[in-house]
């Protein structure tokens, strides 16, 4: 099985603060990889380095390398907008734009130069179907996306990310603001999407990691303490700290 | 115990009176204007007053038509908007999203200073810098007013743009959109109602401005003929003639104020409507 990301000796600083320390990780293609750990452990920071969203933060700099299908994403030749097209993202809070459902999904393709109405219609429908929300929104494509429920909005955010045809999808605690039923729907969705995409998810919810992920990385104070097959990590953790965390002794 | 209660009531009353004072002032102004202006409109005739193109108080019989001044005010306000809105909007986007912090610390007080300059000083500036090029004309008035409304438009638009959740920005960037596409397609449209509110307030400021406009516009009481020729505004009409007007002439000037007041009322109502829509 090939890797989508190869992270090598990654250090990340916010000004003087070292947020990630010597992270080494190979993330498998077409798998769900979960990042777990207590707040402030660096898991979201690492996620945001994978599509260079950290570039938006002043004073953030990295050392080491991250390769996406063996291409250095911090290299000189890397076009950041193209990288973000290849590596899509959904956030903790649904962040749909104050536009119609259709325009939200069509925003990405339009950004990347697709203008034809027919083509856009098709992309929008396919993305919505793939995100398992087509039936719920097909009659209100022209209405504001902000009128949907939280869970629907989050699935629409995923549809929006799918519309630019990414290779990897990053999810930053996508269900932490949702009720259990909506959470279940998102998890189900991710399990089907993983056949076509590589998925990396940051989660606070360890049950969620065990339910859906193939591999899990446990972060603590900017370091990857343990990274292995999810089943193994939760049943026979090698590191004492991992064991303490997953058994609920801290965090 | 009782003493404390009295003190509480007293303070409550004090706050209420303070709050009521401004409302009282509005009511008083409204009453004064209507009482003095409306009878004149009745005497002149509403249609003759609003749509009459001749303003000649010294003729026999005198003619009191303010249509040319209404058109003058609309022209100069529209011109100010055409000049002021694009500059103001671009400045607001620059200040809120592009400008480095160090530059902001210089630019923001500069913009605020623009708001604090007395209008007679704008008038001087216009006489010295704009009139030599464009003459005493509508276009000179537009340019000066366009500058004068900048602080209003910039201030309100900037806070509207800053109020757009950063999640929108992130969401767009995460889809591979560049900074300027994100600003143009997502952030500014999301701030639309706030920006419109700023523009409406700018219109209010422009239509009510008096001194600077008089100093650069020539003030001929006739139907505007060309952007490069002079014209008179509603406010200019009042200020220029009030000093010596008597009888019906004076009342007609106050009636001009009534028309102005109605304009401002409409503008403020649309401002509140725009603000209300944001929620």
Q: What would the mean pLDDT of B98-115 be, rounded to a whole number?
A: 93
pLDDT of residue B270: 86
Spans of all domains in chain A: 28-52+80-246
Closest CA–CA distance from residue A32 to any residue of chain B (Å): 20
- Cβ proximity of A21 and A58 under 8 Å: no
Structural domain count, chain B? 1
- Cβ proximity of B41 and B255 under 8 Å: yes
**Residue A85 with chain B: CB contacts under 8 Å:** 175-176
Q: What would the mean pLDDT of A124-133 be, rounded to a whole number?
A: 94
Residue-range definition of the domain harbouring residue B271:
63-278
pLDDT > 60? residue B164: yes
* Chain A residue nearest residue B174, CA to CA: A84
Question: Which of A85, A97, A98 lies at the smallest CB-CB distance from B176?
Answer: A85
Cα separation, B8 vs B159, whole angstroms: 37
pLDDT of residue B279: 44
- A221 phi-psi bin (left φ>0, alpha ψ -120 to 50, beta other): left
CATH code (residue B192): 1.10.3720.10
Closest CA to B151 of B193, B207, B195, B112: B112
CA B80 to chain centre: 10
Question: Which of A88, A91, A108 lies at the smallest CB-CB distance from B170?
Answer: A91
Q: How confident is the model at residue B179 (pLDDT cuts 50, 70, 90)?
A: very high
* A111 touches B at CB < 8 Å: yes
Cα separation, A245 vs A249, whole angstroms: 6
DSSP B127: I
Q: How many CB atoms lie within 10 A of CB B36?
A: 16
Sequence-separated (6 or more) residues with CB below 8 Å from residue B28: none
DSSP B99: S
* Chain B residue nearest residue A92, CA to CA: B167
* Chain A residue nearest residue B170, CA to CA: A53
**Residue A164 with chain B: CB contacts under 8 Å:** 175-176
Q: How confident is the model at residue B277 (pLDDT cuts 50, 70, 90)?
A: low
pLDDT > 80? residue B261: yes
Q: Is the Cβ pair A111, B173 closer than 8 Å?
A: no
* 3-class DSSP state of B159: helix
Closest CA to B146 of B196, B84, B200: B84
Cα separation, A238 vs B167, whole angstroms: 38
Question: Which of B174, B181, B186 lies at the smallest CB-CB distance from A84?
Answer: B174
Q: What would the mean pLDDT of B140-159 be, rounded to a whole number?
A: 96
Q: Is the Cβ pair B172, A107 closer than 8 Å?
A: yes
Cα separation, B68 vs B53, whole angstroms: 6
* A50 touches B at CB < 8 Å: no
**Residue A200 with chain B: CB contacts under 8 Å:** none
pLDDT digits (tens, 9 = 90+) for B192-201: 989 999 999 9
Q: Measure CA of the first residue to CA of the last residue in chain A; give whole Å.
A: 33
**Residue B190 with chain A: CB contacts under 8 Å:** 97-98
Q: DSSP per residue over B206-220, as a string?
A: HHH--HHHHHHHB--
Size of interface A-B (CB pairs under 8 A): 62
**Residue A165 with chain B: CB contacts under 8 Å:** none
Cα separation, A198 vs A195, whole angstroms: 8
pLDDT digits (tens, 9 = 90+) for A20-64: 999 999 999 999 999 999 988 999 999 999 999 998 888 899 999
Q: What would the mean pLDDT of A89-114 be, rounded to a whole number?
A: 95
* Within a domain: B56: no
Superfamily of domain covering A28-52+80-246: P-loop containing nucleotide triphosphate hydrolases (3.40.50.300)
Question: Which of A84, A98, A99 lies at the smallest CB-CB distance from B175?
Answer: A84
**Residue A161 with chain B: CB contacts under 8 Å:** 174-175
Question: Which of A56, A108, A157 lies at the smallest CB-CB distance from B176?
Answer: A108
pLDDT digits (tens, 9 = 90+) for A196-251: 999 999 999 999 999 999 999 999 999 999 999 999 999 999 999 999 998 887 76
Q: State the pairing for strand pair B55-56/A87-90.
A: unpaired
Q: Is the Cβ pair A82, B176 closer than 8 Å?
A: yes
pLDDT > 50? residue A116: yes
pLDDT digits (tens, 9 = 90+) for B208-231: 999 999 999 999 988 988 899 999
Closest CA to B250 of B70, B47, B19, B43: B43
* Within a domain: B98: yes
**Residue B183 with chain A: CB contacts under 8 Å:** none
The C-alpha angle B94, B177, A87, rounded to 5 degrees, equals 140
pLDDT of residue B59: 85
pLDDT of residue A150: 92
- Average of per-residue pLDDT values in chain A: 93
Q: Is the Cβ pair A157, B171 closer than 8 Å?
A: yes
* Within a domain: B93: yes
- Cβ proximity of B191 and B184 under 8 Å: no
Q: Is the Cβ pair B171, A81 closer than 8 Å?
A: no
Question: Which of B170, B171, B178 lies at the smallest CB-CB distance from A81?
Answer: B178
pLDDT of residue A163: 96
Q: How many CB atoms lie within 10 A of CB B50?
A: 15
DSSP A144: B
A42 — phi, psi (to 5°)?
105, 0
- Average of per-residue pLDDT values in chain B: 92
Q: How confident is the model at residue B1 (pLDDT cuts 50, 70, 90)?
A: low
* Within a domain: B91: yes
Closest CA to B236 of B146, B138, B152: B138
Q: Is the Cβ pair B171, A53 closer than 8 Å?
A: no
Q: Is the Cβ pair A85, B173 closer than 8 Å?
A: no
Q: What would the mean pLDDT of B107-117 be, rounded to a whole number?
A: 94
Question: Which of A51, A82, A95 lies at the smallest CB-CB distance from B167?
Answer: A95
* A124 touches B at CB < 8 Å: no
Is residue B61 reached through a cis peptide bond, with omega within 30 degrees of 0 on the bond before it?
yes
Cα separation, A101 vs A127, whole angstroms: 12
* β-sheet with A60-68: strand ranges across: A17-28, A3-14, A60-68, A71-72
Cα separation, B269 vs B203, whole angstroms: 13
Closest CA to A153 of B171, B82, B251, B14: B171
pLDDT of residue A52: 94
């Amino acid at each position: 099985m090939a890797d989508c990301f190869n992270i090598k000796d990654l250090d990340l600083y916010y000004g003087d603060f070292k947020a990630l320390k010597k992270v080494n990780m190979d993330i498998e293609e077409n798998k769900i990889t979960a990042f777990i750990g207590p707040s402030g452990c660096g898991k979201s920071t690492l996620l945001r380095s994978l599509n260079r969203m950290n570039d938006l933060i002043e004073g953030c700099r990295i050392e080491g390398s991250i390769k996406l299908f063996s291409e250095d994403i911090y290299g000189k030749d890397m076009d950041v907008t193209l990288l973000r097209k290849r590596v899509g993202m959904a956030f903790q809070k649904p962040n749909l734009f104050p536009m119609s459902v259709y325009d939200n999904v069509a925003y990405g393709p339009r950004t990347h130069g697709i203008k034809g109405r027919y083509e856009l219609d098709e992309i929008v429908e396919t993305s919505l179907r793939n995100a398992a929300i087509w039936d719920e929104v097909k009659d209100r494509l022209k209405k504001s996306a902000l009128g949907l429920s939280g869970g629907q909005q989050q699935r629409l955010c995923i549809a929006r990310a799918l519309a630019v045809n990414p290779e990897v999808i990053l999810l930053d605690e996508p269900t932490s603001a949702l009720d259990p039923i909506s959470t279940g729907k998102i998890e189900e969705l991710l399990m089907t999407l993983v056949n076509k995409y590589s998925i990396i998810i940051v989660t606070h919810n360890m049950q969620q990691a065990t339910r859906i992920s193939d591999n899990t990385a446990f972060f603590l104070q900017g370091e990857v303490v343990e990274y292995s097959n999810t089943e193994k990590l939760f049943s026979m953790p090698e590191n004492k700290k991992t064991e303490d965390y997953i058994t609920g002794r801290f965090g | 115990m009782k003493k404390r209660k009295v003190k509480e009531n007293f303070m409550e009353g004090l706050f209420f009176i303070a709050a009521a004072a401004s409302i009282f002032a509005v009511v008083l102004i409204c009453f004064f204007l209507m009482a003095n202006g409306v009878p004149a409109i009745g005497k002149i005739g509403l249609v003759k007053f609003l749509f009459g193109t001749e303003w000649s108080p010294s003729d026999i019989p005198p003619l009191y038509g303010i249509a040319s001044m209404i058109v003058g005010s609309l022209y100069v306000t529209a011109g100010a908007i055409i000049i002021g809105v694009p500059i103001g909007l671009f400045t607001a986007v620059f200040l809120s999203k592009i400008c480095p912090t160090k530059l902001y610390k210089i630019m923001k007080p500069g913009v605020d200073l623009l708001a604090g300059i007395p209008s007679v000083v704008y008038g001087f500036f216009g006489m010295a810098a704009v009139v030599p090029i464009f003459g005493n004309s509508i276009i000179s008035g537009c340019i000066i007013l366009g500058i004068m409304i900048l602080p209003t438009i910039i201030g309100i638009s900037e806070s509207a743009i800053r109020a757009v959740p950063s999640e929108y920005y992130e969401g767009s960037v995460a889809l591979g959109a560049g900074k300027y596409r994100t600003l143009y397609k997502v952030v500014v449209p999301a701030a639309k109602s706030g920006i419109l509110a700023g523009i409406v307030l700018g219109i209010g400021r422009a239509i009510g401005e008096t001194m600077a406009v008089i100093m650069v516009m020539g003030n001929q009481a006739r139907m505007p003929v060309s952007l490069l020729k002079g014209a008179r505004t509603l406010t200019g009409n009042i200020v220029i003639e009030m000093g010596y007007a008597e009888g019906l002439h004076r009342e007609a000037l106050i009636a001009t104020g009534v028309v102005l007041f109605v304009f401002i009322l409409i503008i403020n109502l649309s401002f509140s409507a725009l603000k209300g829509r944001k929620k």
